[in-house]
């Protein structure tokens, strides 16, 4: 599988996931939990909703990655 094909599959998956978790309700974009349906926020634009969902996904994956946690801790110490 070529790198370009791999990237296309990732973006198709990401778009499918985001479309499933962001719903337009009463003219606003709502970020919903994939499993429970809990609301994670209501936003005026889809761009804002996507940004919030990206934050949620980042921190969800951060919990399981000690390597990423160490890199972020090191970066935050360097800024000081």
pLDDT tops 70 at residue 10:
no
* Alpha-carbon distances, residue 77 vs 49, 70, 73 (angstroms): 30, 11, 6
Helix axes 66-79, 46-63, angle to 10 degrees: 110
Whole-model pTM: value is 0.63
**Looking at per-residue confidence, does 33 or 8 come out higher?**
33
Please give the pLDDT value at position 80. Answer: 47
pLDDT tens per residue, range 24-74:
999 999 999 888 989 999 999 999 998 998 888 888 777 777 777 777 777
Residue 43, domain extent:
3-79
- Residue 29's beta-bridge partner residues? 24, 43
pLDDT at 12 over 90: no
- Residue written as token pair 């009463």: 26
State how many domains the chain has: 1
């Amino acid at each position: 599988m070529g790198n370009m094909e791999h990237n296309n599959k990732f973006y198709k998956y990401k778009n499918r996931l985001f479309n499933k978790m962001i719903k337009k309700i009463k003219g606003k974009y709502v970020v919903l939990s994939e499993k429970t349906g809990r609301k994670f926020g209501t936003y005026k634009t889809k761009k804002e909703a996507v940004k919030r969902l990206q934050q949620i996904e980042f921190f969800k994956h951060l919990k399981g990655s000690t390597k990423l946690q160490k890199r972020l801790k090191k970066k935050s110490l360097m800024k000081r």
